[in-house]
Amino acid sequence: MATVEELIAKFKASRLQQKEEEQNRLRSAAEHGIKYSADNRSENLRLLRAFFDTAQDDFAILIGVGSQSQYSLLERGERDLPASEARRIESALGIPNNWFDRSNSTLLFLSQDELSLINEIRGVKPQAALVLAEAVKQLSGRDW
């Protein structure tokens, strides 16, 4: 049986590994031009509500943030959506972790084929994704 000290050490090591993995994901995202900021949360609330095609009062109930007026303050950016709440909503709705912090507005203008390609590339190692991006650039004849 493990001692309390061993369990605490194991927990700390696990948290350290999680933080390192998160930093690696953020570096990888930055290499692909994805920017993360808590400032994106209100815009992403609007995008998500538009996706669900629902009124503020119904959406507030769906995501569990209180009344319509409380939700409206979040969506307008007059009240901050705490990180813990953003992560809870992401988990409850099955959307990717840190989605609320990502700049997602440009995704509205992508075709279904483009979104599918992006989702496939996300599963590839960062260096391979850069090679794929260069290949697509050359094939398209466009300079980005």
Summarize pLDDT for 17-68 with one digit per residue, the tens: 877 776 676 666 666 666 788 999 999 999 889 888 889 999 999 999 889 9
The encoded tokens of residue 114 equal 């483009």
Choice between 71 and 10, residue whose per-residue pLDDT is larger: 71
Residue 112: the pLDDT is 63
- C-beta neighbour count of 121 within 10 angstroms: 15
Q: Identify the CATH assignment for 14-109 out of 1.10.10, 1.10.260, 1.10.8, 1.10.390.
A: 1.10.260
pTM, to two decimals: 0.56
Asked if residue 75 lies in contact with residue 12, where contact means CB atoms within 8 angstroms, the answer is no
CA distances to 1, 77, 118, 124 from 57, rounded to whole Å, are 51, 17, 33, 39
Domain layout of the chain by residue ranges? 14-109, 110-144
The pLDDT tens digits of the residues spanning 99-127 come to 899 887 666 555 667 667 766 776 777 77
